[in-house]
Chains A and B, each alone.
Chain A
C-alpha cells in the first residue's frame, strides 16, 4: 500500500533526505526515489530545494524528474495496478486485459478511482515477456495474468 503523508513539512523532510544522500555519486535519482518513498509522490516543492542543495538548476532537476514515468507529480491511489503494454504482452492478450481492467475500475490509464483506492497505469515491459501478459500490483509482479487473476487483483484493491 502506498503511504500518504500530509504535505506538512515537505521542505524540511526534503532537506533531511538530500543531506543523507548527497554524498553518493550521482545523488539525484536516489534522492527522488527516497522522496517518492517518503511522500508517495514527488511534491513539486521539493525540486527547487533539491536543486539548491545539489547546486543544480531547477530545470535540470525537473528534466530528470519528468523523464521517469515512475516519479509521480500527484499522489496515487492506495494501490497501484500497472499493466504491461509492450509487444509480447499485447500479443498474448494484453489489450483485452487492459480493456477489462478499465471497465472493472471505471477509469482510464493514468487515472485513480474516485474512492482513491486504485490508480491504473500502463508500463512498457516488466521483463517477463516469456510469461506474458504481466502486471504489477503495488510493486509485486504477476505473470500469465488472465481475466480471473485480474478480477482477483481488482477485488483485492477494492477491499
Chain B
C-alpha cells in the first residue's frame, strides 16, 4: 500500500468539444480548445513547475514559475493563463526559463524559514519540490533583509512577523511560512464559496487574512478544509499532521455523515488516521469537503466508545461486561423466550441508515428469516419515507432522479425545506458555484437560510411560508403554471398520462388554489408565488432539491407528489440539470431503504405480498417469509405500550433522541423485556437497553453506502475494529446463535447475494465497483454502467402520474396556549443526534442547542438574547437558551436537535404523515417563556441517564 497521489493538472478541464493540436517540448498534444498550456503539458506527462496553480481553481498567474516560451511569440507567458492554440510550439525548459525560475525561487526562499527538517509539511511541500525542480542551490539575496520569518530582526521586534493562528481546532495558520500564492483565498472563494479569506495589504505587506484580519475562528470560515488542502506549504496545516507526521499510505473510502456521500482518501500511518482528504475523483464531491467529513472523525477513538458487550437484567441495574458469546446466547435465548411467550410478532428490529448496505441487508434478513416476521423498520421512517412513497407513486421509483453533477447544468434551482449549506454542505458549495455562474434560485423555507442570501449568492425568490403549508404553496405554483399556460404540453403528452393530467390541471386551476387565495394561510405574498412559478416554468433547466422540511409533515407524502407534479408539468425530468432531488439526511438512507428495511418491502422496493419476490428469497434463505407487512417504528412502540411487543434489536439508531415524542418512545422501550442496542456509544436509547453490543465505525469495516444520488460507493476498512468485530459480523454471530446457518466471510459475499436477488443491483459486485469507482443503481443488463439520470426515455412506471394534492391543514394548530410554531433543523458543525460530532472538537461551533426567535416575539415575552427559556408544547417541555434573530418570521421559532440535554423531541408531537407515518417534526405549536434553568423532566432525565450508564466494576462513564 502506498499514498495515493492525485495528478494536479494545474487548471480546470475545458468542456469544449473542439480539439486543438500543439507541440510541447517536441511532443504533439491534442486537447480541447480553451485548455491551458499547463494542463495540456500535464496531459502529455510534462510537469511545468508551478506554485499558485491547482486544477480545483481557475488560473491566477501570480507565482511566475510556470513560464514557458512559445516559438514566434515574445516573452515568457505563464502557461497557466495562456490557452493552447493550434500549431504552436511550446518549450517548457530552456536555459532562459531555468534562469528566470531559479531567480523567482530565490526571491521566495529569501523570505521563507529554512526549517524544512522540522517542518510539518516536510515530504508534502510544493515549495520544497519546486526548489528541487528548478535546481535552487543558493539564495543570492541572503536572509537578513526585510522578512516575515523572524519574530526579531537583529534584536528588534519585527513588525512584519505574525504569530501562528491556532484558533481553529483542526488546522493552524502560520503566516511566517506563507508565500502569498492566494491558493487558499481562491479555494475559499471558488471551491467552497464562503469568501472568508482575502489578501490584506499590498506588495511586501500582503498577508493572507481571515475576515478582517481576524483569527480564523472569528472570521466567516466554515472550516471546510479547502484552503488547507490548497496550501502548497506548511502555512495551513492540519493539526493532526503536526502532531503525528506525514501519512505513509492512503485508502479511498466514503464519508459516513450526510447523504452526499463524499469520497475521501483516509491518509494513514499504520492504523492511525492522520487526515481525511477529499478525493478529486469522488463523483459525488469532486474534491469538495465540509468540516464534518474532513475533520470530525475523532469520535472513532473517543474514550466514550464501549468496546465490550454488556448485559443487565433490569434497566435500573448497572451494566455487566460479558463475553461476546454470552451476549449472543443471552439475546438468542431472550428473543426465543419472548416469541414463545408472546407470539412470533412480539419482536422486531431496526436497521440503521448509518451502517452499510450489507449490514442493513443482514438485519432485515435476521428479522425476516430469523424472527419470522416483517417487523423491521429503519430511521428513514422518520425522514424520507414520504419520498419513497411519493416518488414511487408518481414516477415508479423511490429515489432522486439525478446525480450531483447535474447541478452544473441547472438554470433554476428550487430548494424546498432544505438547508444545503448546513445540512449538505458539499452539495451547497456545488450549488453556490453554479449560482455564481448565473443560475437562479428559489427558496421555499420558513427560515431565511444562508443560501437565501450569502456573499455572491442571492435567491431570486424566497417564499417564507408558514410551517405546514408546503402543499398549499406548491399547488399554488402549479395553479400559476397551468392557468398562465406555462405547462410543457409536449412533454406531458409524450411522457405522462394525459387524462390524469387533465384531471389534475382542472383541480389546480380551481380559484381557491390561486396564490391570492392561499396567501391568507401560507403567509406568502401572492406576487412572490407568481414570480417564482413563472421563473421556474420559463427559466430553462429547473431542478428541485428538497429535504426534511418537505417530508416531516402530516402531508409529507402529498408534498413529495406535488413536487413530482411540478417537475412533470414543466418537463423538467430525464436530462442533466433538471429533476427531483431529495437531499438525504444520513449517509445510507437511500441504501437502507433499497435493502428492504421497510416492514412492507423486500430489497428493491418489492412488496412482501408479491409472491414471486418472496419466493426468490424463500428459496435462497430456506425459510417461509410472511406476506403480511410488519410493524413500523411507531407501531412497535404503540404495541410495546399495549404489551404485545417485547423485544427489539436496534442497530445504530438512537430512537429515543431522534424520534418524536420522547416520552412515548421512552414508555415503549421501558415496556419491553429485551432491548438490544448495537452502537458505538451508550446512546440515549441504551438507557432503556438490556443488552449492549459494541459497534464499529465506518473506518473499521468494508461495505458500501448508497448516497442521495443512488451512487453505491465503497467503504473500506482502514483500521482494526476497536471492539473486535465489524457490525455485519456481530449480526451474523447473533443469527448463528439463533440457529441460522450464515457463513459470510466478507461483505462482498453479502453484496453478491443482494445482486443475485435484487434486479436493480444485478451487476453490482465489489470487483465491478473496484473497476468503476462507483455506480448509480439501477445497474443491470439494461444499464450496465449504472444510471446517473433516471427516466431518460420514459418513466420507470410507464407514464408519469399526476396526483391531486389537496391541502389539508395539520391538526397541530396554534392557539392561545401555544401561539408559536416550532420547526427544527440542523447546523453545519453538528450531525443528527450529535453522538459523533459532540465527541469531536466540532463542539466549539455549537456547544448547545439554541432557540431562534424573532425580536418581536422575544420582546413581547421579555426575552433577551442568550436568556434561559422554557419551550413547551402539549407533548412536553424543555429549556434551552434563546438566540434572537430575524432569520425566522414572527410567530415561528426554530431549534436544532443535536444535544440530548435539550431533547427537542420532548416537544414534538405524535402527528405523522398520513401515508408513511413519518413524524411531523417540522410543525409543533409551542409557547416560549423565560425560565430559570432545566425543567424537572430534564433533571429527572439526566439523573436517569447517569444511573443507567453505570458499568459494574468501572467508574461511572464520564459523559
Selected contact of A67 from candidates B194, B201, B213, B453, CB within 8 Å: B201
Q: How far is the CB of B728 from chain A (nearest CB, A)?
A: 46
A62 & B212 in contact (Cβ 8 Å cutoff) = yes
Does chain A have a CB within 8 A of B458?
Answer: yes
A-B contact pairs, 18 of them (CB 8 A): A44-B212, A55-B454, A55-B455, A55-B456, A55-B457, A55-B458, A56-B456, A57-B196, A57-B455, A58-B212, A58-B219, A60-B198, A61-B212, A62-B209, A62-B211, A62-B212, A63-B198, A67-B201
List the A side residues contacting B196 at CB < 8 Å: 57, 59
A55 & B200 in contact (Cβ 8 Å cutoff) = no
List the B side residues contacting A44 at CB < 8 Å: 212
- Please, how many angstroms separate the alpha-carbon atoms of A59 and B213 in the complex? 8
Does chain A have a CB within 8 A of B771?
Answer: no
- Please, how many angstroms separate the alpha-carbon atoms of A44 and B219 in the complex? 15
B200 & A62 in contact (Cβ 8 Å cutoff) = yes
Give the B-binding residues of A (Cβ under 8 A): 44, 47-48, 51, 55-63, 66-69
Does chain A have a CB within 8 A of B355?
Answer: no
- Given contacts A60-B198, A66-B202, 15 further A-B pairs with CB under 8 A are A51-B455, A56-B456, A57-B195, A57-B198, A57-B220, A57-B455, A59-B212, A62-B200, A62-B209, A62-B212, A63-B199, A66-B200, A66-B209, A67-B201, A68-B202
Does chain A have a CB within 8 A of B210?
Answer: yes
A57 & B213 in contact (Cβ 8 Å cutoff) = no
> Interface centre among B194, B202, B211, by most A CB within 10 Å?
B211
Instruction: Give the number of A-B contacts (CB < 8 Å).
Output: 57
Selected contact of B200 from candidates A48, A51, A57, A63, CB within 8 Å: A63
List the A side residues contacting B762 at CB < 8 Å: none
- Which applies to chain A's interface (DSSP): helix, strand, loop or mixed? helix
B455 & A62 in contact (Cβ 8 Å cutoff) = no
Q: How far is the CB of A90 from chain B (nearest CB, A)?
A: 18
Contacts A44-B212, A47-B212, A62-B212 given; indicate if A57 touches B194 (C-beta within 8 A).
Answer: yes
> Interface centre among B201, B202, B213, B455, by most A CB within 10 Å?
B455
Q: Please, which residue of chain B has its CB at the minimum distance from the CB of A62?
A: B212
- Please, how many angstroms separate the alpha-carbon atoms of A57 and B453 in the complex? 11
> Interface centre among A58, A59, A63, A69, by most B CB within 10 Å?
A59
Does chain A have a CB within 8 A of B197?
Answer: yes
Q: How far is the CB of A72 from chain B (nearest CB, A)?
A: 14
- Please, how many angstroms separate the alpha-carbon atoms of A63 and B184 in the complex? 14
Residues of B in contact with A, size category: 20 to 34
Q: How far is the CB of A6 from chain B (nearest CB, A)?
A: 23
Selected contact of A58 from candidates B202, B211, B453, B458, CB within 8 Å: B211
List the B side residues contacting A67 at CB < 8 Å: 201-202
> Interface centre among B209, B212, B453, by most A CB within 10 Å?
B212
A59 & B453 in contact (Cβ 8 Å cutoff) = no
Q: How far is the CB of B178 from chain A (nearest CB, A)?
A: 15
Q: Please, which residue of chain A has its CB at the minimum distance from the CB of B198?
A: A63
- For window 218-232 of B, CB contacts with A under 8 Å fall at 219-220
A59 & B220 in contact (Cβ 8 Å cutoff) = yes
Q: How far is the CB of A62 from chain B (nearest CB, A)?
A: 4
- Please, how many angstroms separate the alpha-carbon atoms of A48 and B454 in the complex? 13
Q: How far is the CB of B182 from chain A (nearest CB, A)?
A: 11
Closest 10 CB pairs of A and B: A63-B198, A57-B195, A59-B198, A62-B212, A57-B455, A66-B200, A67-B202, A58-B211, A66-B201, A59-B211
- Please, how many angstroms separate the alpha-carbon atoms of A12 and B155 in the complex? 46
- Please, how many angstroms separate the alpha-carbon atoms of A69 and B213 in the complex? 16
Q: Please, which residue of chain A has its CB at the minimum distance from the CB of B457?
A: A55
Contact digits for B867-906, partner A, Cβ 8 Å, 1 yes 0 no: 0000000000000000000000000000000000000000
List the A side residues contacting B220 at CB < 8 Å: 57-59
- Please, how many angstroms separate the alpha-carbon atoms of A58 and B454 in the complex? 11
Contact digits for B442-476, partner A, Cβ 8 Å, 1 yes 0 no: 00000000000111111000000000000000000
List the B side residues contacting A61 at CB < 8 Å: 212
List the B side residues contacting A58 at CB < 8 Å: 211-212, 219-220
